[in-house]
A and B are shown apart, each in its own frame.
Chain A
Amino acid sequence: MDNPLWLIPALPLAGFLILAFGGSHLSKKMIAAAGAGSVCLSALITIMIGTKLLSAGPDGGTYSQTLWTWIDVAGFNAKITLTLDALSLVFVFVITFIGALIHIYSAGFMEGDKDYSRFFACMNLFVFSMLVLVLADNLLLMYLGWEGVGLCSYLLIGFWYENPANGYAARKAFTITRIGDTAMAIGLFMVFYQSGTLVVADITAKAPELWQQNETVVTVIALLLLAGGVGKSAQLPLQTWLPDAMAGPSPVSALIHAATMVTAGVYLIARMHVIFELSVVAQSVVAIIGAATLLIAGFTALTQYDIKRVLAYSTMSQIGYMFLALGVGAWTAAVFHFMVHAFFKALLFLAAGAIIESLHHEHNMFRMGGLKDKMPVVFWTFLIGAASLAAVPLISSGFYSKDQILWYAWGAGGGSPLLWAVALLGALITAAYTTRMMILTFWGESKTHIGHHPGKRMTIPLIVLAFFSLVAGFIELPHNFGHFTLFSDLMHKVLPETILRTNVSSEWMFQLLAALATFGGIFLGYFYYGQQPQRIENLRQNEMLAGLRRFWFSGWGFDQLYDVILVKPFVFITRINKADVVDKLYTGIVSVTHALYRLLSRTQSGSLRWYIMGMVIGAIVILGIQMML
Chain B
Amino acid sequence: MKSSVSIEMVMLLAGLLFALGIAGVIIRKNIIFMLLSVEIMLNASGLAFIAAGSHWGQPDGQVMFIFILAMAAAEVSIGLALILQIYHQHQSLDIDKLKEMNG
Partners in one complex: yes
Which A residues are closer than 8 A to B by beta carbons? 601-609, 612-613, 616
Residues of B near A612 (CB, < 8 A) are 22, 25-26
Residues of A near B99 (CB, < 8 A) are 605-608
B96 located at the interface, meaning its Cβ lies under 8 Å from any Cβ of chain A in the complex: yes
Contact A608 B103 (CB under 8 A): no
Contact B22 A616 (CB under 8 A): yes
B45-103 contacts to A (CB < 8 Å): 95-96, 98-103
Given contacts A613-B26, A616-B22, contact A608 B95 (CB under 8 A): yes
Chain B residues with a Cβ closer than 8 Å to the other chain, count: 12
B21 smallest CB distance to A (angstroms)? 11
A540 smallest CB distance to B (angstroms)? 80
Query: Quick one: closest A residue to B18, CB to CB?
Result: A619
Residues of A near B101 (CB, < 8 A) are 604-606
Given contacts A601-B103, A602-B103, contact A607 B22 (CB under 8 A): no
Closest 7 CB pairs of A and B: A606-B101, A606-B99, A605-B103, A607-B99, A612-B25, A612-B26, A608-B95
Complex: A601 Cα to B101 Cα, angstroms: 10
Which B residues are closer than 8 A to A by beta carbons? 22, 25-26, 34, 95-96, 98-103
B33 smallest CB distance to A (angstroms)? 12
Contact B22 A608 (CB under 8 A): no
A618 smallest CB distance to B (angstroms)? 12
State the total of A-B contacts with C-beta under 8 angstroms: 30
Complex: A604 Cα to B95 Cα, angstroms: 15
Contact B95 A609 (CB under 8 A): yes
A627 smallest CB distance to B (angstroms)? 14
Apart from A605-B99, A607-B96, what are 15 other A-B pairs with CB-CB below 8 Å? A602-B103, A603-B103, A604-B103, A605-B101, A606-B98, A606-B100, A606-B101, A606-B103, A607-B99, A607-B103, A608-B34, A608-B99, A609-B26, A609-B95, A612-B26
A60 smallest CB distance to B (angstroms)? 83
Query: Quick one: closest B residue to A613, CB to CB?
Result: B26
Of the listed residues B22, B34, B102, B103, the one surrounded by the most CB atoms of chain A closer than 10 A to its CB is B103
A122 smallest CB distance to B (angstroms)? 60
B11 smallest CB distance to A (angstroms)? 13
Query: Quick one: closest A residue to B38, CB to CB?
Result: A612
A365 smallest CB distance to B (angstroms)? 77
Residues of B near A602 (CB, < 8 A) are 103
A268 smallest CB distance to B (angstroms)? 68
Complex: A608 Cα to B95 Cα, angstroms: 7
Query: Quick one: closest A residue to B96, CB to CB?
Result: A607
Query: Quick one: closest B residue to A608, CB to CB?
Result: B95
Query: Quick one: closest A residue to B29, CB to CB?
Result: A609
Residues of B near A601 (CB, < 8 A) are 103
Given contacts A604-B101, A606-B101, A606-B103, contact A616 B96 (CB under 8 A): no
A472 smallest CB distance to B (angstroms)? 86
Query: Quick one: closest A residue to B98, CB to CB?
Result: A606
A611 smallest CB distance to B (angstroms)? 10
Query: Quick one: closest B residue to A603, CB to CB?
Result: B103
A74 smallest CB distance to B (angstroms)? 58
Complex: A458 Cα to B22 Cα, angstroms: 101
Complex: A605 Cα to B102 Cα, angstroms: 6
